[in-house]
Structure 1
């Protein structure tokens, strides 16, 4: 399994809206960055990710799962753009802020710190475990 981080401005698409989509999930559309698109192309159904509120809050608030592989983005007719569908898995009991991540030396190379503008980014397994634990989750039970 691979791990990811999905950024969304909560005033545009919030964690509560994501959870409301239930098992069906929602298309992670509107991404217009080639690197982020390429990451989505490599995703597999069952991969897990952090749902991160950007700009407002700046914190990991939930865990999501990829529930549909890369497919054409329905918000454009341009065939270059693809996206995956994700569904909510669970809340992060204690949201992990960007400040928390930056304060943790073991996360200094995390893409959230080094590639802050990228809306879809990979998360290394050791980063996944640590951020889950910081948020009050046991990564072994997810």
Structure 2
């Protein structure tokens, strides 16, 4: 099993939205950064994913989900009216991927970026590095466990 964090704006895809999707899960799409896309392609069914709300009043880790469908072609890249449309992407050579997530749990509070920066175990994680803006971040097992310990 691998561990990840995905950043999402709660008005687009919140932990509550993932929870409401039930066992069928929710598509997590719209990634338009090659490194983040490559991380999506490294995800496997059963991997755990922290959900991190950004661009909102309470920014930070809010819940946990699991990958239930590995990377597939993100259909939004072909939709001209989508903000995620990519005119250079073709059906023969699609550029972008999406995954499907299923809700595991919502945490009782938000673990903020400031709190995450204070965890020595996360000192080398890209999430806490200045200037890091990736929407998908890998976590080592020890990092994952350190975050869970803060939330339970």
Whether the 8 Å CA contact 2:59–2:110 is kept in 1: the answer is no
Query: TM-score w.r.t. structure 1 length?
Result: 0.90
Q: Report how far residue 94 of structure 1 moved.
A: 3.4
**Pick from 127, 132, 139: which aligns with 2:148?**
132
Runs of 4+ residues over 6 Å off in structure 1: none
Structure 2 runs not aligned, ≥5 long: 79-88
Alignment match, 1:32: 32
* CA-CA distance at 1:128 after TM superposition: 0.1
Partner of 2:82: none
**What is residue 107 of structure 1 aligned with on the other side?**
122
- What is the 5 A alignment of 1:37-76? 37-56=37-56, 57-76=58-77
- The size of the alignment, in residue pairs, is 136
* Deviation, structure 1 residue 26: 1.1
In the alignment, the residues of structure 1 paired with residue 114 and residue 133 of structure 2 have an alpha-carbon distance, to the nearest angstrom, of 16
Aligned-residue offset at 1:19: 0.9
Deviation of the 1:107 alpha carbon: 1.6
Q: What secondary structure, in the 3-state scheme, does the structure 2 residue paired with 1:129 have?
A: helix
Measure how far apart 1:63 and its partner are.
0.5
TM-score, length-scaled by structure 2: 0.84
Which of 105, 113, 119 is matched with 1:98 structurally?
A: 113
Cα deviation for residue 134 of structure 1 reads: 0.2
Which runs of no fewer than 5 residues in structure 1 stay unpaired? 137-142
Alignment root-mean-square deviation, CA: 1.2
Deviations 1:51-75 (A, max 9, x none): 0001212111111100001100021
